[in-house]
Each structure stands twice: as structure tokens, then as C-alpha cells.
Amino acid sequence: MPKFLHSPFRFLLLFSCLAFQSAPAGQQAASLTATNPQESFDTGTKTDYTAGTVALATGTWTLTDAVLGNTEADRKNGAQSVRLQQNGKLTMEFFVPNGASTINVQHAIYGTDASSSWELWAQAQSCNCNKWTKVGNTVFTTSSTLQATAFTVNIAGNVKFEIRKTSGGPSRLNIDDFAVTDFGVVQPSIDNDHLALGNPSGAVTDVSYPGNYLMVKPQYKLSYNRDQGKPNWVSWHLDASDRGTAPRVDVFGPDPTLPEGWYQVQATSYSGSGFDRGHNCPSADRTSSPEDNAATFFMTNMMPQAPGNNQGPWADLEEYSRSFLPSATNPAGNSEVYIICGSYGVGGTGSNGGVTNTLDQGRITVPNRTWKVIVVIPIGDNDVARISASTRVIAVDMPNTQSLNTNWGTHRTTVDAIEASTGYDLLSALPIEVQTAIESKVDTGPTN
């Protein structure tokens, strides 16, 4: 499963086959447990960057291109924190005995250094392999104040972890307060959150990342790409409460919540192009109030879509996704759905003919493909916990052209295939065994 970019605040361990290794003598017992769940890095001494081990409160750790820093420029909650440079690593030399539900890490840039990126990796103990597997998305540290990042792990049994600085270069990174929650500890219930299933690209609301800028609206959440003038993806929850009698507002317009100085795509930016202003989150999914419907007409929710795609199989699939909801005309509906969609590639063929790469003097990229993932679950609470290996997941990937098969079912694919094409990490908040089961299957259910 290919993964992408920055970290939000919750991530899942992304691997389909855990790697395992027998523990050398003396490495099994660790004190990172329910009674001592955090390594503060306040004990021990290491003042040079050459690789070496250090005994800390929880056990032995190896620091590579890293020191235990206690200067004024080191960001820390206690006496000291780990400072990594270049491609530094911080590695447990012991296995956490009670598994891990979540990992929380504090991080900040050192002094006035530039931003750094880093990743969390895991290795579980079992099958005599020596393989590390990445947990969640790459984290981008941009603040000189300690920030918390949480990773959802959900690994039973003995497991150890490693932090890898991936940005290289002279900029240094502080890591502090590495905390483990034991496997099996119940996590808070998550219901009707537009990103309950994960943040596909690790988008953040930070102008330093204009290609992956997180925008949060009551009606949906999205990753906006300033230089492409369209969203990378849009994610939303849909249930019967989102559907009402509000009419289609049809007020296409610029999004005033974009950062100051960013170009705002206009309602007229697609005029004469041969491409529709294609909704990601559809107008008909938000008819409970005029305000909710109007929010779907921001141009940040639009992508240049060939009319044959937008008004054909794409529209039919939108309508089908609403058929799962209970309504006066569909009393048998008993489900709610999570939907993630977007586009990728460059160059589509609209009603004017020929391949078009950009619109609006190059400010808007015309995608080559449009994709969507729909997760259907029975109505209930704690949505993530109710998704299993048997949950119906519909994934489609359509060419952005006029001449495509009008039956949306012919465009079905796997979530894994969409991840491979986009580099995103879809459904990352689900347990790994559920991801493995549902992301590899092509849906074969009915199409109407």
C-alpha cells in the first residue's frame, strides 16, 4: 500500500504482513507498559552524533546521528530531548510487551532550524524476520514549539519502534515524550466525522504546504492544491440527516476561506473550456439546508470534469450512493456511507475535443482520471469499530473523457489500485487486518 506526505493527528499502522524477529537475550523485558507508558528521554547521556546505545528509563535505545540535547535551543518538556540531524534514527532495542494501540510523540524543530520530516516504523516479534514497516504518514515538523502527533497502531503482542528523520540536511529535529497505549485499550468513539476513516494525504492547515492544504468545513473536508486550482481529494460522511428539501442553490463561486494571497478560482474560470465544474462532494448530498447546499458550490470543491464523465457514470454513482440511506421513498434503506473522491494525472478530453492540460491561463490542472471510494455501513455508533472485512467498499477509477463506458460498474477497481495511482493512504484509520481485506477486493455488488 503506497503512502503519502504529511501527518495529521491519527494514523494507522500500514502493513499487510507484520515483520517479526526473536528478541535477543535481555531485550524482552521493557518498562514501557501501562504503569510506565512514556519515555521522557530525561535520563542517560549522549553528546555526540556517532551511533551508540544509551540506557534510558524504559530500556536501551540506539541513537544514530542523534544526541540527547539539553541546550536552550532543544525543545523539551523536561531536562532533555532527542535531537536528530541528517538522516538520524531513534531505535528501541527492546520489545514493548503489551502491544500497542496508539503511539504519541512530541516533536519540534531545533532552535531556528528549518522544517524537518520524519516517520514512525514498527517491528513485531514473531516469525524470525528482520523487517520494519512504516506506521501512518510522513510527519512534517514546522513549529519550534513541541507539537503532539498520534499514530493508531493496533498491534497485539511484542513490538518495538523506530523514528527516522527523512528530510536529511543540516536542519535538526527534537523528539520528546514517546508514549505507548497498550493494545486493547478502547479508543474514543468516532461518529460522523468526515475524516473518521483517515486523512489520505496527511493534509495540514499550514500555508507552508500549498499542495496539500487541509480545509475543514461543516459539510466536508478536503486537501486543496493551490497550484492545481482544485482539490486533491474531498472526504465526507453521508446519512439521512444530510438530505432534506433545500433546493439546489447553484451559486458557484470562489472560496473566501483560502489563505490570503492565494489565487481564487472563479465561477467563470471553466467558461468555454468544454469541462464541467464537477462537484467532488455533490450538491444532492447536502440538501438539509440552503447553507449546506451552498457550501458544495465553492470552487475549492470543483474539478474540471468531462461532461461525459460528470453527467454520465459519475452522476449515476452519486445517485446510487444515496440509495443506501433511509428516506420516505426508500424506507428499506438502513445504512450510512463514507465517501472519499478526487482526481489525478494531467490531461482530460472535454466536449471541445482534444486533450486539455490546464484551464484559466494555467491556474487549474485538468485531471486525467477521477476516482471515488464509498464505504457502506449500517446505521449506528462508533463508525470505525463497525467496519469489518465484510463491509461493502466500492472503489472506482474513471477516465476523464467524453467517450467512456456509461455503466459505472465497469470502472470498479480496488482501493489498493487507487492508492498505487495517487500515492494516498486511504482508510488508514481502520485496523490493518480490515484494511488488508477490504482494500484488495473489487466490488461485485449491484449497481442500481
Which residues are marked as active site? 279
User: Measuring CA to CA, which residue among 238, 370, 225 is closest to residue 312?
Assistant: 370
The grid cell for 348 is 482530460
Residue 152: Cβ within 10 Å count: 24
Residue 357: Cβ within 10 Å count: 13
Give the containing element (helix H, strand E) for 277: strand 276-279
Rounded to the nearest 5°, which phi and psi values hold at 159?
A: -150, 145
Axis crossing angle, helix 415-422 with helix 432-439, rounded to the nearest 10: 100
Which burial class, exposed, middle or buried, applies to 91 when counting CB atoms under 10 A from its CB (0-12, 13-18, 19+)? buried
Q: What is the DSSP letter of 262?
A: S
Per the listing, cell 492540460 goes with 357
User: Measuring CA to CA, which residue among 310, 319, 278, 316 is closest to residue 399?
Assistant: 310
Cα–Cα distance for residue pair 304/371, rounded to 1 Å: 13
